[in-house]
Structure 1
Amino acid sequence: MKRNILPLAVPIAALALLSGCAMGGSAPAAVTLDPDAELSGEITVWSWDVAATALDRLGAQFESDHPGTTVNVVDVGYDNAYDKLSVGLQAGSGLPDVVTIETDRAPGYINEFPTGLVDLTPVLGDAEADFDPFKWSAQSDADGALKVAPWDSGTVGLFFRTDYFEEAGVDPASIETWDDLLAAGETIKQATGHTLLSLDVASGGAFQLLLQQQGQGLFDASGDITITSPEAVEALTLLQTMNERGLLKNVKGWDGRVTSAKDGDSAVTPEAVWWIGTLLGDAPELSGRYGVTELPGFDADGARTSNSGGSGLAVPAQAKNPDLAAAFVEYALADTENQVSMMANEGLFPSYLPALADPYFQEPQEYFGGEPVYELFAEQTANIPPITFTTDNAEASDIVANAVVAAVLNGADPATALQDAAEQIATATGREIAE
């Protein structure tokens, strides 16, 4: 979902409710879906903002296609959604038939409440190859059971100011690696006076984006802490180098990033596809001054994308009509026409790969000089490196963010800052530091 509507990659206050919760409440009995069940009755769906709008629209279509069914969509509001979900899973009651869960939060619920969400594999398992592999992996449990169906992806590209590049005589197509971009940034700054990029350093989000680009998260598949790896040190060193060369403008929060883009402070923005919606909505006056290309790689053969944001749909085990709920999830998310309609109407970029082959994603976009920018994100979605999330990601993210500030803004040695952070995470979580 679009970042300006559904904030992601922030400390997860609601997950604090999960600490120690797995022992509370009454664990629901496991639910086994019947893909051939006769569909009837009604379901209630919880979501928020444009996501709720999309599901309400598709719910009316579903009812028309399946007489005798009713889909009630409730906009519970982003601020309330996770409190309600946490309390409902803890209590074993009070949840609807379908809930929206963001990808970075899904593992916490999946691990803390292993029987709290229905295994959707009987309904969607045959379509696994048709979904963004990162989303499928992140939203499945340790046994491979899909607990949260992939919905929208936060595929990352490099947005750039075409006018700054032209003034500096830099060809965007010549930038293949981050070293290439640093060199281009120095040329652009000398020619235009603008920095290379604006970041909220204190959020730590840029570091995690760069880490995932190299196929790593904060933890590995065994749950061990990975932030002392050479890849992590390289990612943090890159950010520190940008700042030392005067190529980075530090801004505060989401509003700071949007304001910086509107003011034209910097030449590039490494961000997810939903940044298109932000530019269209908040900076229409910059139409014709932006282009999009792949992220630079850490080496010539490295991944040229990453992920930032996105969500899925889950069926709580306490759902009153789980088979109808799962059928609606399949209808909304594993259907090209419906996924394309959510992109066109609500700006939700599909995790369903067949939808990305639709002609809609090859259409020229006037804001970007007539370039078919969605095509780039469509091509890169299947290339997003999968990473592991754990129940401790929120706490680890806060600690890592402090390390990023120490290195980038205060000049600490990146390897030392990350080692200190890893030891803090180990003390706080009881996890081991990966060898």
Structure 2
Amino acid sequence: MKKAWSLLSLILVFILAMTGCSGQSADEASGVASKKGKTLTVWAWNTNVPVLKQAEKIYAKDHKGFKLKIQEISNNDMYPKLTTSLQGGGQGLPDIVLIEDTHIQGYLHNFPKAFVNLSKKGFDKEGEKFPSYKRELASRDGNMYGMPFDGGPAGVFYRTDYFKKAGINPDSIETWDDFIAAGKTLKQKTGIKFLSLDMNSDDPVYRLMLNQQGSFYFGDDNKPALASKESQTAMKMLKKLKDEGVASNVTGWDAWLSGVASGKVATAVSGSWMAGLIEQQAPKDKGKWGVFPLPAFEKGGNRAANIGGSAWTIPTASKNQDSAYDFLKFFSTTNKIQEIATKGGLFPTLNTVYTSPLFTEADDYFNNQKIWQIFANETKEIKAANYTGNYAIAKDEAVKAQSEILTSGKNIPTALKAAEKRLENRLSTKE
């Protein structure tokens, strides 16, 4: 018996010694992290918190003692906090951080060793469960650094009662020109505005138009592409929407959302996440809303684009990397969890959930349409946007150019070339 206890003691000492050397906790060093209960810290914002709490309860049924310590941080406050922690060598970082797709590549570029390579943890076995654009957005040099979560496949949300009154069949709207013609008809017959845009301080529809053309602020060579053919095509269409009286200007997100929810405008070109906002903001309008696919630039053209989305990352500073990965694998590849996320207004990019009743059955709020199926079908056609690490700076210049073109009447090629030049200058001084 004494020999047995001595042997056991030596094993424990060895494990503790290895743990001290590797920076891992004892249960991870012994290979039983996924079987034992642990407390993991998480940084995430508003709509994601309820889903995390539900996932925690379900996961804990097979992982006794498992807990999540969730710190709710707005996505605007997240990045200064995350950047400061990374610059400080990872001090104060949690085990799991949610990062928007628009920002992931920037962090992978500026802090190449700051996040765990999920491919080495076994992610590649799960890869085909997610659309290619989501995998591309969270990868670097062929390796995954973010567990794909929600996405924002785009579409047109519209008031079915207004369309019916104007005699417009949404199925007849295949192109942006069709969209403009419908807008003019609806305004003429109902007096209601067709579309509102924040022309001076945000550019979501411009970004969608770039994405559906397979382009973005930057080209494949990572050089600024604000003056590209695709960019000019998108801006010309935006100007046409305004000049034809279809799009009206509005200031700020709150005013834009209020106009949509109150029925002052007939349509909203947005991501799938808009469904939850409309239902929340306008509960009395049940049955009065519908969805149709994003218009193409030409008949038969691409009608798929994405706006929004995020992925879960594990900082290398975490001492619970195996436990964090095991939980994220469960969270991101379990249909039940993704169904909970969908009901909370987040669109899942896990393709196995698309056959669940939630996606195949009609939604009574949206005029008994299968709206989630529309968005699910779109994910296969979405192309990854090249956000790079300079997304925020490029967006700033794109919005300035949009404002000059739509509200000041500046020539499109001239404004976009000037914006591209300004962006190049800002990037050169940044380096």
Which bracket does the TM-score occupy, shorter chain normalised?
0.7 to 0.9
Aligned residue number for residue 14 of structure 2? none
The 5 A counterparts of 1:365-384 are: 365-384=363-382
Compute the displacement of 1:124 (Å).
1.4
Query: Secondary structure of 1:104's match?
Result: helix
Aligned residue number for residue 254 of structure 2? 255
- Matches of 2:345 and 2:224 in 1, distance apart? 35
Give 2:285's aligned amino acid: L
1:105 aligns with 2:99: no
Compute the displacement of 1:309 (Å).
1.0
Aligned residue number for residue 169 of structure 2? 171
CA contact (8 A) 1:60 1:71 kept: no
1:387 aligns with 2:385: yes
- Matches of 2:238 and 2:57 in 1, distance apart? 47
Distance 1:220 1:361, change over 3 A: same
- Matches of 1:162 and 1:268 in 2, distance apart? 10
Compute the displacement of 1:44 (Å).
1.5
1:38 aligns with 2:36: no
- Matches of 2:173 and 2:29 in 1, distance apart? 48
CA contact (8 A) 1:111 1:391 kept: yes
CA contact (8 A) 2:23 2:319 kept: no
Percent of aligned pairs sharing the same letter: 32
CA deviation profile, 1:136-179 (whole Å, cap 9, x unmatched):
211112x0221121110111111112122222222111111111
Compute the displacement of 1:287 (Å).
2.1
Distance 1:79 1:387, change over 3 A: closer
Give 1:42's aligned amino acid: T
Aligned residue number for residue 240 of structure 1? 239
CA deviation profile, 1:250-280 (whole Å, cap 9, x unmatched):
1111111112113323222111111111111
Q: Which of the residues 42, 57, 62 maps onto 1:60? A: 57
Distance 1:30 1:66, change over 3 A: closer
Distance 1:144 1:167, change over 3 A: same
Compute the displacement of 1:68 (Å).
5.5
Compute the displacement of 1:334 (Å).
1.6
Compute the displacement of 1:79 (Å).
4.7
- How well do the aligned residues superpose, as a CA RMSD in angstroms? 2.1
Compute the displacement of 1:386 (Å).
1.2
Give 2:378's aligned amino acid: Q
Query: Secondary structure of 1:293's match?
Result: strand
Q: Which ranges in structure 2 are unaligned for 5 or more consecutive residues? A: 1-21
Q: Which ranges in structure 1 are unaligned for 5 or more consecutive residues? A: 1-28
Compute the displacement of 1:60 (Å).
2.5
Moved over 6 A (4+): none
The 5 A counterparts of 1:281-300 are: 281-300=280-299
Aligned residue number for residue 130 of structure 1? 129
CA contact (8 A) 1:63 1:71 kept: no
1:71 aligns with 2:68: yes
Aligned residue number for residue 316 of structure 1? 315
Compute the displacement of 1:411 (Å).
1.4
TM-score, L = length of structure 1: 0.87
1:410 aligns with 2:413: no
Distance 1:224 1:65, change over 3 A: same
Compute the displacement of 1:347 (Å).
2.4
CA contact (8 A) 2:156 2:269 kept: yes
Q: Which of the residues 47, 53, 58 maps onto 2:44? A: 47
Aligned residue number for residue 11 of structure 2? none
Query: Secondary structure of 1:313's match?
Result: strand
The 5 A counterparts of 1:95-244 are: 95-122=93-120, 123-141=122-140, 143-202=141-200, 203-244=202-243
CA contact (8 A) 1:48 1:76 kept: yes
- Size of the alignment, in residue pairs? 399
Compute the displacement of 1:225 (Å).
1.3
| Structure (1 or 2) with the larger CA radius of gyration | 2
Aligned residue number for residue 6 of structure 2? none
Moved more, 70-79 or 104-113: 70-79
